[in-house]
């Protein structure tokens, strides 16, 4: 397995590997993903096996052109078009009724498919070079912390990849927002890089609340997810220099000061947790952010990591 710079030659190598049915790690603006041809059931099954991912957990399919939806979704409602015009390319995933030819492995046997158009130029270049939509869940073992840089991808996962395309740090730093467009009003299934408020403003309707984890029409709906190996403990304040994430001045070398801005915090969160987890602490303490609805995605990840 090789970590390759994002040159035209490297992207061509990765695209050819995908066409052969192999797996590739690609950067996106949210997190790094393990990519395979979405229309190759064997390759998609290899993703499930490599990640230790349950078969009832659907994958997100990544596209580079809006016309690729024709082979993926049975319909593209007007409200979905509004969101695509406003937020694609970008960190928004829409759940739509799937087209008949989409392999059931991608959708976990559901009649819906989760689709997004990433904003990262390397991801878009790879999709176009491969000539197929890419199923690409995060490049981590199931329930573990997602990678926002190539160095975060663990050795166990790397062993099953043809290559990793190094696109630098993922700037958004959290997984995409997932919205179910098969119901009205639409439901946010997972908060992420596009806020609830921005989506509501675009559609002009209030959105439904996040449903029970039993309705797994989207990735990221298990009670425990996005977790380092160490136990994450949410607290109001960290004392005595214990390892963790703080808002004030760090009290020891194992504390990392985090931004007070929710967007900057999201961008830094996974990298900070990876850095602390490499020291193999038993617990990582995280000072609980106190803020408004703009913290929804961050709090979702922290709550799942600490479950």
Q: Tell me: the pLDDT tens digits for 186-228? A: 999 999 999 999 999 999 999 976 655 445 555 655 566 788 9
Least confident of 84-93, 95-104, 209-218, 255-264: 209-218
* Residue that has been written with the tokens 């949410």 in this structure: 234
**Residue 245, phi then psi, degrees to nearest 5:** -110, 125
Asked whether the beta carbons of 137 and 219 are under 8 A apart, the reply is yes
Mean pLDDT of 138-156: 94
Please state the pTM of the whole predicted model. 0.94
Question: Cis bond leading into 176, ω under 30°?
Answer: no
Nearest to 140 by CA among 175, 109, 105, 192: 175
Query: Per residue in 106-135, pLDDT tens?
Result: 999 999 999 999 999 999 999 999 999 999
Cα 268 to chain center, whole Å?
A: 15
Average pLDDT, the chain: 94
**Encoded tokens for 146:** 């997602």
DSSP helix/strand/coil, 98: strand
Structural domains in the chain, sorted by start: 2-203 (3.90.870.10), 231-305 (no CATH)
Can you tell me the distance from the alpha carbon of 118 to that of 90, in angstroms, rounded to the nearest whole number? 5
Task: Give the pLDDT band (50/70/90) at residue 240.
Answer: confident
What digits encode the pLDDT tens for the residues 39-59? 999 999 999 999 999 988 999
What beta strand segments (E) does 107-241 contain?
Answer: 112-116, 134-135, 163-165, 177-180, 187-190, 231-235
Rounded CA-CA distance 194/44 in Å is 27
pLDDT at 13 over 80: yes
């Amino acid at each position: 397995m090789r970590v390759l710079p994002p040159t035209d030659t490297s992207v061509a190598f990765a695209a050819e590997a995908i066409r052969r049915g192999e797996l590739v790690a690609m950067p996106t603006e949210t997190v790094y993903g393990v990519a395979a041809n979405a229309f190759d059931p064997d390759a998609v099954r290899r993703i499930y096996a490599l990640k230790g991912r349950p078969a009832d957990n659907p994958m997100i399919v990544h596209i580079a052109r809006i016309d690729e939806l024709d082979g993926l979704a049975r319909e593209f409602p007007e409200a979905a078009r509004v969101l695509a015009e406003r937020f694609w390319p970008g960190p928004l995933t829409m759940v739509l009724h799937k087209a008949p030819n989409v392999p059931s492995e991608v959708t976990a046997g559901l009649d819906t498919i989760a689709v997004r158009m990433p904003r990262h130029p390397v991801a878009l270049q790879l999709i176009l070079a491969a000539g197929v939509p890419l199923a690409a869940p995060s490049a981590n073992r199931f329930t573990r912390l997602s990678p926002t840089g190539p160095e975060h991808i663990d050795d166990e996962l790397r062993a099953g990849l043809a290559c990793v395309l190094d696109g630098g740090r993922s700037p958004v730093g959290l997984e995409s927002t997932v919205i179910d467009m098969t119901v009205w009003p639409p439901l946010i299934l997972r908060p992420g890089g596009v806020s609830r408020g921005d989506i509501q403003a675009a559609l002009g309707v209030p959105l439904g609340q996040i449903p029970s984890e039993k309705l797994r029409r989207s990735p990221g709906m298990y009670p425990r997810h996005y977790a380092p190996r160490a136990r994450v403990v949410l607290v109001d304040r960290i004392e005595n220099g214990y390892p963790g994430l703080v808002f004030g001045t760090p009290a020891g070398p194992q504390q990392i000061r985090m931004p007070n801005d929710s967007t900057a915090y999201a961008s830094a969160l996974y990298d900070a947790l990876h850095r602390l987890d490499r020291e193999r602490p038993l617990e990582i303490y995280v000072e609980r952010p106190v803020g408004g609805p703009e913290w929804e995605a961050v709090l979702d990840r922290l709550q799942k990591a600490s479950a």
